[in-house]
Structures are given as C-alpha cells and as structure tokens.
Amino acid sequence: MNVLFIAVDDIRPELNCYGANDMQTPNIDQLASNGVLFTQAYIQQSICMASRASVMTGIRPQKKGLFTGESVQKLTPNAITLNKLFEANNYNIAAYGKIYHHAIDHTEQFGDRHQDPQEKWVGRGYLTDESIEQMYFNEAHPLKGRQSENRGPAFESADVPDSAYIDGYNTELALRKLKDFKAESKPFFMAVGFHKPHLPFAAPKKYWDIYPLEDISMPEITTIPENSTRYTLRDWGELRNYYGIPKSKTPIGIDTTLLLRQGYFACVSYVDAQIGKILQQLKDLELDQNTIIVLWGDHGYKLGDYGYWCKWSNMNIDTRIPLIINSPDGQKNEKCTAVVEALDIYPTLAELCGLQVPEQVEGKSLVSLLNHPHPELDQYAYSIWPHDRGEYDKTIMGYAVKDKRFNYIEWVKLNTGEVLAKELYDHDKDPMETRNVVDDLKYIDDVSLLSEKCKIQKENTDHEYTVKETQKVID
C-alpha cells in the first residue's frame, strides 16, 4: 500500500463533513465519504512544533522535551520517525510543504526529497505591493518587546492563480511527483503539508469571493469561560505581531474580526481545492485503489472565540482536530465517535502497511476502529500546555484528559507537584466549554476518576527537560 500523508496547519474541524456550514470544503468532504472520520480526535499539544514532533515520532510531547522548541533531530536523535520507518522498509519517500516545524528536521528527515521553496516569496508569502510595503514599514505595530520580521498584514487577497501562493505551488510539485511514483515499482510514502490556513490569511481572491463579508458571522461565544482559571487562556501574541492588529491586551474590533474570519475561511477553501487536485491525480493515475490517505490538522484554532485568537491552550477548541483515514480496504462514509489521539496515526499507518512499530511509539493503532467504527469503549486522550507567561512561574504545566463527555485539566507546579488549579467542562451540557464546573459537587466522582488518569501523564513527564526549557515554547 502507498501512503498519502496530508497535514494542514491551524485547521479546526469546522468542516461540512463535521456538521458545520461556515466553510465550503467539498474535497475534504469527499475524502471523508470514502473513509472514516473521527469526530473526537485530539492533538497532544496545541502548537505547531510539538504536535508535529509528537505525530512523527510517536512520542508524547512531555517526553524528551518535545514541546520546548528544539528540533526533533536534537531532542530525539535515535527515534525512528514515521517517514524513516517507511524509508527503511523500501518505500520511496517525498515531502512537500510543512511536515515538521524546523527546517533542520526537513533536511535531516528527507534531504533533497523535501521541497518547500519559501524563499520564492517575500516575507510570509506576500504577493501584493501593499502587503510588502506594510511589512517593511510596520515599526509602530509589533508586539511590545518582540520583533516581527517578515510580518506584514494578517490577511491578503491577490487576484492570482492558485500556484502563485506556496501551497498551490507545492501542490503542482506533488502532482508531478505522483507521476514519477507511478512509473516506479516501489510503494511510496508522500507527505504534503499545507501552510494555510496559518497566518497570514493569504489566498487567491476567488476563494475570498466565496465568502461575502456580509455573510460572515461573529463567533458564537465571545466571553471567557465562567470560573476559568488564570491559566485557562493565553494571550494571542502570534496575531498581534501582524500589521494593523492592536498591541498589548487591546481587543480586536468587530470589523477586523469579520475580515480575519473571512480570510481564514478563504484559506481553508484554498487548501481544500489543492487537496482535490491531489486526490484527482491519484485517481487519474489509478493509484487510488492501493493508497492509504490520512488527513489531519496539527491543532485547532480560535477565531475570536472567547474573545481570543490562535491556539495555545488545553481547551477543546484548540486541541480537537479533523482526522480522516481513507483505506481502500476500510469502511466508507463512517463517523467514529471514539476518543482518539493524533499520536495514534503512526501505529495505524504502520499496521495498515504491515510494518513493525518501533518501541518508542506510545500511541495505539486505530485499525480496529477503521473496520468497526462504532466502539463502546471508554477511551481517553491527553494533551498538555506549558504555562509560559512571564508574570507566572515558568514551571507550571497544564495536563488535560478528555473522554467522550469531559475535558478535565490540572495545572501543576512541576518542581513541587502542587496542583494550583483545576478545570472540568461537561460537553453533554456545555459543548462550547463556557463554564468550569470542577467545584460542582455532583461531579466529584468524575473529577476523582479523571484526576487518576491525569496522574499517569504527570508521572511520565521528563522533568529534566520540562522545568528548565518551558520558556522556549515557540510557534
């Protein structure tokens, strides 16, 4: 079996196949109809570097300091990564776009079989003269105390073909590579990582035109959760670095909020169109019947939800991701409600292709769920968020455990083990997580059970890395 591994940056599961109607995603929807869609899939940390490192190594981010901002090559030099596993088993491998977070990892993992020529673009991929001018003359706008190199406006709409932006360009490279693979006798593992809808929200104008501004709605919830803790949500400096976005803790106005949401929606539809081209190429080359396809997002995203932006929390809006697995021999048009982790992608692909899973891998294979997607099991997913705000102790870790009903979080001072705060969200009654009910006595048994599950993750944290490296968390 061949493998097509599709990673999408910053995509929340607000897709038609997930029951939402804000965005048009016909190609992702079609992929879901030909496979199994996981409704409760969670990333292990809601930040690019750590989530990707965890998926590609099969190791939880609190192990080996994978969340600290260092490269996979430096932190886990002996790990057999997912792509290396396939390469060692006589697969042709190739990668386009963003698979790992750090350039050194792309070089070490793929060598010249990785392409992502970002140097062809100005700054963060800008095309218009106005955006480029704003990028060079934005001294008044950076977040205080930080540099904003290559940051112009937070959104751009250029009247250009798809391939003018990097995701479309990389898609063209991937289409050509599939033709090469067709001529080979060996199976292939091809990874395609889309940069969008990551900031800046830049996409060809025709995708912006899908979403008239007057049709864009404000977020459903715009206030912080009731009884939230001082650690629950983190300020969104990532967005504040862009031109025209207010500094410090100043909120974003309604007009800018709507523009940003419009841009995000446009980027998702742009990525969806590129995915459609790749899926069509597989079909045209008659590779679709022996190719496993997995599509996943590296974390969720806030678009003004709770009055916040970007990711960086243990809330479900940041940790819940789209995950779709399409296996030619698997079930079709099924939704699996089991609680699963992105960490499970590695052993799942290995089992589907008959490869031995390395000892370092901590996830569990989902193959049984692909064959029988309606389990009655009690399953759990875990995520972390290292609280790195300068005004608080940098050794505080947020541990979250999620099951079909709850999201439970403990904020722990690692050097003492003291639990500083707790959160519990009941999705049966409050799917948007608007109220922390951890102090409600009717949940006392649930808190006790989930706390025990949480304890396992706390005990498995590598303190050697964690305590001294938390401040290095980057995006």
Active site residues: 48, 101
* Nearest residue to 330 (alpha-carbon basis) of 86, 5, 34: 34
DSSP-based three-state secondary structure for 377: coil
Q: E-strand spans in 306-428?
A: 309-310, 320-326, 334-341, 381-387, 396-402, 406-413, 418-426
CA distance 31 to 48: 24
Q: Which residue has the tokens 């977020």?
A: 219
Torsion of Cα atoms, 31 then 34 then 40 then 41, to 10°? -60
Q: Which two tokens stand for residue 262?
A: 């419009």
Torsion of Cα atoms, 63 then 69 then 74 then 77, to 10°? 40
What distance lies between CA 298 and its chain's CA centroid?
2
* Nearest residue to 298 (alpha-carbon basis) of 66, 25, 100: 100
Q: What angle do CA 79, 100, 193 make, to 5 degrees?
A: 130
